[in-house]
Structure 1
Amino acid sequence: MAVLGAAMVAPGAVAAVSAGVVKPPRLRPGDVVGLIEPAGFTDDAFDLDLVKETVVAMGLVPKPARHLLQRHGYLAGTDADRAADVNAMFGDPAVRGVFATRGGWGCARVLPYLDFRTIRVNPKLLIGFSDITALHLAFAARAGFVTIHGPNAGSSWPRFSWDAFRAVAFDGATPLLVNPEGREDRLVQRDWRIRTFRGGKASGRLLGGNLTVLSTLMGTPWVPDFDGAILFIEDVSEQPYRIDRMLTQLSLAGVLGKVAGVVFGQCTDCGPDGASYGGFTLSEVLRQHLGALGVPAFQGALFGHVASQFSLPVGCRAEIDADAGTIRLLEAAVR
């Protein structure tokens, strides 16, 4: 078994494909991959050049969508145009995978315009995170194939993130995802720590992504069934009371009561402001919500709005160990 974390060793054997979840084809060197912007815009062509160079460095051939570099307010084109780019990439037989170049806001707005009949019969890896969560969840609900919650094409892609992505998307590995050891000059490590709210192991389908996006999709037809799932969530620039509010919404909607386990990844810049002094910390909020579920739950896995992050295949079965703070894939994401 491959272990992705401290050592980032070579990937291991491919697990058997489970029934009921369609696996997209793996990426191979020389494959054409589409570049889309379903949410925020890129306003500098030089930034897009960097994205293309990143994709080429992966051994892939970038194919920019027709409406890339358009702008409509704070969006990368109109809802119809952004959706048309998604539909075109999944309908193009030459395209083997689809990268979001960035997040922002806007993916939920394109959902009614997506051609899920075409998308469903052309399973391809969709890669991205943050606002791309809306697409991951909608694909899980409507398309039935695996997607990858991982860096956007425009992310910085340090070695850790690239090795994690390559193992899942190219090699079809089933790694054990472990946070690396901290490199601080301290007697006790403080970076990349795990906090266990309830110990034990649990297995189920990986479903989740950005907490804000997930919570705003509650009550819509774009949310998959979380019964028996491993819920993974992360966020950025949210104060503890807002995390509290969103977790309360998931609880009241019945999602938290269905899951087999929970992993809260990184919450970047999520501390209280001065006016909240004396309130709950983020860890206290998470303990209140997750510790009482009666299922394994922990905080601190490396995914979210951080440079170094795991690639999590949405829809794949995985096992979490809340005491060790690990995620182990039980099947390959690709065929």
Structure 2
Amino acid sequence: MMTGAAALGLSSSFGMQAASHQLGSGPAIVKPPRLNLGDTVGLISPASLNVDSYDYDMADEVVEALGLVPKRGKNVGRDFGYFSAPDKDRAADVNAMFADKSVKGIFAIRGGWGCARILPYLDYDMIAKNPKPLIGYSDITALHMALHAKTGLVSFHGPNATAAWGQASVDSFKPLLFDGAQPTYSNPEANEDRLVQRKWRTRILTGGTASGRLMGGNLTVLTAMVGTPYMPNMDGAILFIEDVGEAEYRIDRMLTQLGQAGHLKGLKGVIFGQCTKCTTSGGSGFTLTEVLKQHIVPLGVPAFQGAFFGHMSDQYTIPFGTRAIMDADAGTLRMLEPSVT
């Protein structure tokens, strides 16, 4: 498998960018400061608990292997039903990490379920005054969406601290967060004995190119935020979505809801990443690709399926709120600006 700069097509242009600018309605886009080797970063558990306490040690080791210093939230390691701690306590850890001047970035330890429950308890005014990179995926989508809607913060849909962190994930994360790189994302070549590549291929839903700010994450979590004050305006956005363990009809249901709520009509493009274990045993009548085409092709915007992010062991880190250009025919996504200052 090709990894590193060759797989990502990283740009050599790292230039500095102003901390904020306006993109459509809502708060100004705010970019957090970049990370530096030796920085202290916070570890939070804003959703489900980790059943095995050893996972917390693994999270520390991942952060250290990235050249950073871990600092656990006060409530990390607790146990409250299927959550890591009560709602207000989980929110308190998020607030504390943004308020702590010694903390330069924040990693979610895991997702699961629970981030949406803490959103009313976050101090958005304080967070807006202390922008920092927030990294995580799956249920962390709720935090990405809410922070962007309330503060304009650019955050990062990438591996949680207890994720696998293969080399491709590291090579995606470090240039983006440490160097302010403007990478071009493309799927790696699969190391397989086949005449033509079969694994990690992308599929064109609608050809063409489009530019816009990147918004999205886990489809289930995103859809559950429709109608709440934490749903950002997605007009003019490139929507990137992924999911896990959802049957085709449930993907259909969620896209139907997003469309009927008006959140698809203003998009500039759509990128569907990995839908891990989303195939119904014995068939469902429609394949996932057919469901996607039914909802996305009528939008008349460039779209492709199979990008290298989602519930997978080697996913790339995708910035939430950064301007980018996608090429559906080539299956690529290129950043048009740095995501950090």
| TM-score, with structure 2 as normaliser | 0.94
- Counterpart residue number, 1:241: 249
Question: Which of 19, 22, 27 is equivalent to 2:21?
Answer: 19
Where do residues 192-231 of structure 1 align in structure 2 (5 Å cutoff)? 192-231=200-239
Residue type matched to 2:37 in 1? P
- Counterpart residue number, 1:145: 153
Question: Which of 280, 289, 293 is equivalent to 1:283?
Answer: 289
CA distance, structure 1, for counterparts of residue 5 and residue 110 of structure 2: 25
Residue 321 (str. 1) matches residue 327 (str. 2): yes
Taking only aligned residues, the RMSD between alpha carbons, in angstroms, comes to 1.4
User: Once structures 1 and 2 are overlaid, which stretch shifts more, 149-158 or 7-16?
Assistant: 7-16
- Counterpart residue number, 1:130: 138
Where do residues 66-77 of structure 1 align in structure 2 (5 Å cutoff)? 66-77=74-85
CA distance, structure 2, for counterparts of residue 296 and residue 238 of structure 1: 24
The number of residues matched between the two structures is 331
- Counterpart residue number, 1:264: 272
CA distance, structure 1, for counterparts of residue 55 and residue 205 of structure 2: 41
CA distance, structure 1, for counterparts of residue 104 and residue 146 of structure 2: 20
CA distance, structure 2, for counterparts of residue 9 and residue 285 of structure 1: 31
Give percent identity, aligned residues only.
58
CA distance, structure 2, for counterparts of residue 278 and residue 264 of structure 1: 20
Deviation at 1:4, TM superposition (A): 6.1
- Counterpart residue number, 2:53: 45
Question: Which of 308, 317, 332 is equivalent to 2:338?
Answer: 332
Residue 154 (str. 1) matches residue 162 (str. 2): yes
CA distance, structure 2, for counterparts of residue 180 and residue 43 of structure 1: 33
Question: Which of 107, 110, 120 is equivalent to 2:118?
Answer: 110
Distance 1:87 1:50, change over 3 A: same
CA distance, structure 1, for counterparts of residue 153 and residue 4 of structure 2: 24
| TM-score, with structure 1 as normaliser | 0.96
Question: Which of 307, 310, 314 is equivalent to 1:308?
Answer: 314
CA distance, structure 2, for counterparts of residue 8 and residue 141 of structure 1: 29
CA distance, structure 1, for counterparts of residue 158 and residue 284 of structure 2: 35
Residue deviations 1:245-302 (CA, integer Å, cap 9, x gap): 000001001111010000000000000123xx35101010001111111000100110
Deviation at 1:44, TM superposition (A): 2.7
Residue type matched to 2:145 in 1? L
SS of the residue corresponding to residue 110 of structure 1 reads: helix
Residue deviations 1:77-128 (CA, integer Å, cap 9, x gap): 0000000000000000000000000000000000001111111100000000
CA distance, structure 2, for counterparts of residue 201 and residue 174 of structure 1: 17
Is residue 9–residue 185 contact of structure 2 (8 Å, CA) maintained in 1? no
- Counterpart residue number, 1:296: 302
Residue type matched to 1:301 in 2? A
- Counterpart residue number, 2:104: 96
Is residue 4–residue 178 contact of structure 1 (8 Å, CA) maintained in 2? no
CA distance, structure 1, for counterparts of residue 115 and residue 54 of structure 2: 24
Gaps of 5+ in 1: none
Is residue 4–residue 176 contact of structure 1 (8 Å, CA) maintained in 2? no
Residue type matched to 1:32 in 2? T
Is residue 317–residue 330 contact of structure 1 (8 Å, CA) maintained in 2? yes
Residue type matched to 2:219 in 1? L
Gaps of 5+ in 2: 23-28
Distance 1:5 1:305, change over 3 A: farther
CA distance, structure 1, for counterparts of residue 51 and residue 204 of structure 2: 42
Residue type matched to 1:319 in 2? I
CA distance, structure 2, for counterparts of residue 9 and residue 207 of structure 1: 21
- Counterpart residue number, 2:25: none
- Counterpart residue number, 2:182: 174
Distance 1:283 1:19, change over 3 A: same
Is residue 4–residue 175 contact of structure 1 (8 Å, CA) maintained in 2? no
CA distance, structure 2, for counterparts of residue 332 and residue 320 of structure 1: 16
SS of the residue corresponding to residue 292 of structure 1 reads: helix
Residue type matched to 1:195 in 2? R
Residue type matched to 2:21 in 1? A
- Counterpart residue number, 2:26: none
- Counterpart residue number, 1:64: 72
